[in-house]
Amino acid sequence: MKRLLIANRGEVAIRIARAAADLGIWSVAVYSQDDVRSLHRLRADESRELQGSGPAAYLDISQIVAVARETACDAVHPGYGFLSESAEFARQLRAAGLTFVGAPSEVLDLFGDKGAARRLAIQCGVSVPNGTLQDTGLEEALRVFDETRSGLMVKAVSGGGGRGMRRVDERAHLASAIEVCRSEAKLAFGNEAIYVEEFVTDARHVEVQVLADSSGAITVFGERECSLQRRQQKVIEVAPAPGLEPAVRDAMMEAASKLSRAAGLIGLGTFEFLMTYESGRAHWVFIECNPRLQVEHTVTEAVFGVDLVQAQLQVAAGASLEALGMQQERIGPPNGYAIELRINMEQIVGGEVRPVAGTLSVFEPPAGPGIRVDTFGYAGFAPSPRFDALLAKLVVHAPRANFRTALNRAQRALAEFTIDGIPTNQSLLHRLLAHPAVEQMAVTTNFIEQNMGSLPEVAAGRARQFEPVGLPPTGAGANPEEDPPQDDGSVAVRSPMAGSVLELDVGVGQRIGASDRVAVLEAMKMHSEIHAGAAGVVTRVLVKVGDVVAGNAALLWVAPAGALDTGEDSGTDVPRAISLEEVPPTIEEVWTQRAATLDEQRPVAVAKRHSSGRRTARENLADLCDEGSFVEFGSLAVASMRGFDPAELRAISPSDGIVAGLATINGATQRRSRCALLAFDSTVFAGTMGMVAKVKIERLARIAGEGQIPLVIFAEGGGARSGESDGEGANGSLETFLQLARVKGRAPLIGIVAGNCFAANAALLGLCDIIIATRAASIGMAGPAMIEGAGLGRFAPEEVGPAAMQSRNGVVTVVAEDEAEAVMTARRCVGYFQGPARAGESPDQRLLRHIVPANRLLAYDIRALLSTLADKDSVVEMRPEFGKAIVTAMVRIDGIPFGILANDPRHLGGAIDADAADKAAGFLQMCETFGFPLVTLCDTPGFMVGPDAEKQALVRHVMHMMAVGANLTVPHFTVVLRKCYGLGGLTMNLGSYTRPLFHVAWPSGEYGAMNAEGSVRISHKRELAEIEDPDERRQRQQELVQAIQDRGKALRAAARGAIDEIIDPVETRRWLLAGLLSVRPINGGDLDCPT
């Protein structure tokens, strides 16, 4: 082996290149067009660019084989993932005369078929979970379900990575789970076959590492503990598995060896087992084999002192284990413990994992004995979000040590690992390492999910804390003889913290009760009373006033002297009983002032509001928020106005005219239900914005931004309040608009307005992603007074910016009849940003077959189509009166939020004009910002044409729409309903027919550069002009049109492979769900929803 092509990327490609270099093998890296700055291309001896972007480039077998031949390589290493388990890849390499560094194609075929792998295990006498061995139908699956105790797993025969997999706990759900898994498996693996097996609960995940050569020799390199995982993705791995019984370890190793030999494995293989305990006895079953290099091979290398990648390369080149000195008898026991921490680029919000993007501004890996970091990160690198989130593997090894020492080293190294610019899971790793169950390795595969909310909080900074300067070492007091042995049963009264002795209340010989105060300590400018804790006589006092003591230092000793814990002989009173019904006066005062801000205490203001037909700010919040969930911020704030006494200010400006706080919305159906809320109170100075109100707005905006939770703003009001000052300057920086503008894009902003919304209030509203206005609303950047002051005339408030006008120009997203409908719409919109919910009722999908008319020239109701395709009552259309040629809407399909971009054939025939393009671009940006998968329903003859269209800056708007779409990273799917013509059709596909994750068409689909009639008029103009007879000319024209229509039919496009499939409209929902789940597993972060 002289030259090696590495068919992978990132840290594993670097790992392979280093191993090759150590063996004197020239390495060639490949990289996709969006991976040009990845470090792996620079760590190899040379590199070649692949055509294409994202994972698809690394999955292009023919291209990779061609590059290997062009660069004169004689071997290819696939790494892990991508093509590492592709039997077809191995076969094509062999046909090209190249060595595949991995298992033979026959072995890859065997273990790639999960049913075949189960059959092999049974033949070898290795236990597997109860289940089936081949493609399984519903009847057989029901039989197995009835035999199990803990439910079933439905799995794709060719599956992996969590795809094509569903857990089923109820018999009634089995049929639908099989249908979804088949569909998902067909799309992800090209094979819809599934099998079922019993779900193993409360199991440890243990895997065994094997290396085999072509002579049949096999060496087993122990086991790894992989139970710490999240949704089938490993997070922390350990070698060897702590606490694993020797007999179980030996049995698993024997099973792995037996399966390797029976399968004919050559190279590396990892055999995975699930282990449970019943009545104190361990039971384990084989689940699968990965005949390739594993991500976590590093911990095995550490404890056995081997280089598995070098060994893999040498075995592929024909070396025997004997020649490598790796026979089983020469492999000693593991040396100490090794731990691998997978550092992923992700953000965990409310227990949900969110993918992230950005640029690494700081990247400083740790160092020191026993620390290894496999990574491709560096400061200034912006990883492509289209690839796996793994950024680095932090591996620590503690030789000749116990597992606790290895954990300490892992905590220290993790604390030293500094990463800025892109969020990572380091905080989660810190918290896991600090959990007592992890120290004991008393964990199962569902440990993280069950304990996510109760993991200990651990500072992600330094691993160790040092004593403050000037204090003695921990445990020492002012007297070095503080803890002499006591023979009389005396107990020490200790300091609970470091501090100085401010008061000392007792002396030697004094009788004290258990509740008596003995001293007062001062620490951090706070005074803490120290109580005896035990009754008796003081025998020794070890400190004096002014002494500095450390935490846990002994202050005095108390010898028992009978039952003196009543305090009757100590001169102190026994603590009186506490009445839980009693409220201290200071709390009563707060309650009284809070109550004064509520509607019940303001009947005149409330009645005036009701007389206008509108609700109060608190009534709207009560309607929007889950009952009892609202936590108010700044309820006692008042206006910053001089010349008023405090009581008067509280009366005229409760909460300074804005009700602010946190609450849950949709908590019954959403896990991520926390929201921030701001509601201007129009009964306080007409809803104007005061100085303290601005501080509250900034506060809630910051909380929403940091927590990435929706911020809902009831924005009715007249702008900034005149005549206020900021008093003594205690109101902060007042960067209200800057703070809210910075939050935009980090947290969803939803604005609601029911009355007049002018000036500063309108500016806040304008920053919102979704604006909901009632028909009575009026919105303007200036109110009537400012307009008149500018000399522009006198206008009534309702004339400035009525909702109907602001809807037509695209300012208002949704128009509601009244506040009740506006709040209901807001609740639904908030729900989309909160993620998946329980699946809603699906309309009869057969109706879709009859919405698009057979007559291709007839328009139809696209909104009726949307209402049928989506879950019942889940459609919220955005900006329906603006850019009418395109419909933008949020919907749910099987409970999952989708963004919909659809042409409306009833407006301009579906042609895209400037307003529609502007509307679409804004909607695409919102989907990208908040991670909504996008569906484009295409029926467009192209862009609108003509001088009138160009007056609207059509060129700029339509190409902006294409530019935004071309840069989307969220999953995107195209369904062509009828026309997909020209540049307009390309733009609905976000730039290319191959851009979507899939592009399918209904049978009514048509493709072409433009409509057939127009094409004939242009391209056959001369031919038709030369035909004198009108009937003959018309006949010829119809023939030409028909020929173009025939060529443009979706059936022709499918035959050419130009589109992925022609589908029955009934299948649309299934295709969308299967497509989404092929990139976002249902048990992955974004699609985790309540059961």
Question: Which residue, 832, 863, 880, sits at the end of a domain?
Answer: 832
* 1017 within some domain: no
- The reply to whether 120 and 71 lie within a common domain is no
Read off the pLDDT of residues 983-1001 as tens digits, 9 standing for 90 and up.
Answer: 889 999 998 888 899 999 9
Read off the pLDDT of residues 771-783 as tens digits, 9 standing for 90 and up.
Answer: 999 999 999 999 9
* 939 within some domain: yes
Buried b (16+ CB within 10 A) or exposed e, 936-948: bbbbbbbbbeeee
Q: Is the pLDDT of residue 800 over 70?
A: yes
- The reply to whether 97 and 111 lie within a common domain is no
Is residue 904 classed exposed, middle or buried when 0-12, 13-18 and 19+ CB atoms within 10 A define those classes? buried
- The reply to whether 184 and 299 lie within a common domain is no
pLDDT-derived band at 523 (thresholds 50, 70, 90) equals low
Report d(CA 507, CA 219) in Å as an integer: 73
> 198 near 152, Cβ under 8 Å?
yes
CATH number at residue 156: 3.30.1490.20
pLDDT-derived band at 1090 (thresholds 50, 70, 90) equals very low
630 contacts: CB under 8 Å, gap ≥ 6? 621, 622, 661, 662, 663, 677
CATH number at residue 442: 3.30.470.20
Read off the pLDDT of residues 807-820 as tens digits, 9 standing for 90 and up.
Answer: 999 999 999 999 99
DSSP state letter for 535: -
In percent, how much of the chain has pLDDT > 70? 91
- The reply to whether 137 and 112 lie within a common domain is no
Read off the pLDDT of residues 83-122 as tens digits, 9 standing for 90 and up.
Answer: 999 999 999 999 999 999 999 999 999 998 888 999 999 9
Q: Is the pLDDT of residue 355 over 70?
A: no
User: pTM for the full model?
Assistant: 0.52
pLDDT-derived band at 467 (thresholds 50, 70, 90) equals very low
* 1033 within some domain: no
Question: Which residue, 294, 328, 362, sits at the end of a domain?
Answer: 328
The token pair that represents 138 in the structure block:
């519903």
* 476 within some domain: no
Q: Is the pLDDT of residue 477 over 70?
A: no
Split into its structural domains, the chain has a count of 7
- The reply to whether 657 and 697 lie within a common domain is yes
Q: Is the pLDDT of residue 1046 over 60?
A: yes
Look at residue 1019 in the predicted model and tell me its pLDDT: 75
Question: Considering 166, 292, 372, 1069, which one is annotated as catalytic?
Answer: 292
Report the sign of the C-alpha dihedral through residues 635, 637, 639, 642, in that order: positive
* 139 within some domain: yes
Range of the domain at 183: 130-199
Report d(CA 919, CA 911) in Å as an integer: 14
- The reply to whether 122 and 243 lie within a common domain is yes
Look at residue 825 in the predicted model and tell me its pLDDT: 96
The token pair that represents 852 in the structure block:
């698009």
Report d(CA 883, CA 74) in Å as an integer: 58
Active site residue 292: yes
- The reply to whether 824 and 869 lie within a common domain is no
Q: Is the pLDDT of residue 167 over 90?
A: no
The token pair that represents 931 in the structure block:
């991670």
| E strand intervals along 320-417 | 337-344, 346-349, 352-355, 362-364, 371-375, 390-398
330 contacts: CB under 8 Å, gap ≥ 6? none
Question: Which residue, 424, 454, 484, sits at the end of a domain?
Answer: 454
- The reply to whether 144 and 209 lie within a common domain is no
Look at residue 163 in the predicted model and tell me its pLDDT: 64
* 889 within some domain: yes
Report d(CA 35, CA 454) in Å as an integer: 38
- The reply to whether 895 and 789 lie within a common domain is no
* 1040 within some domain: no
**Across the chain, how many H-helices and E-strands are there?**
37, 45
CATH number at residue 530: 2.40.50.100
- The reply to whether 399 and 518 lie within a common domain is no
Question: Who wins on pLDDT, 323 or 387?
Answer: 323
Q: Report the SS3 class of residue 383.
A: coil
- The reply to whether 733 and 794 lie within a common domain is yes
pLDDT-derived band at 349 (thresholds 50, 70, 90) equals low
H helix runs in 641-735, sequence order = 646-652, 691-707
* 977 within some domain: yes
Report d(CA 80, CA 342) in Å as an integer: 15
- The reply to whether 645 and 746 lie within a common domain is yes
DSSP state letter for 1085: G
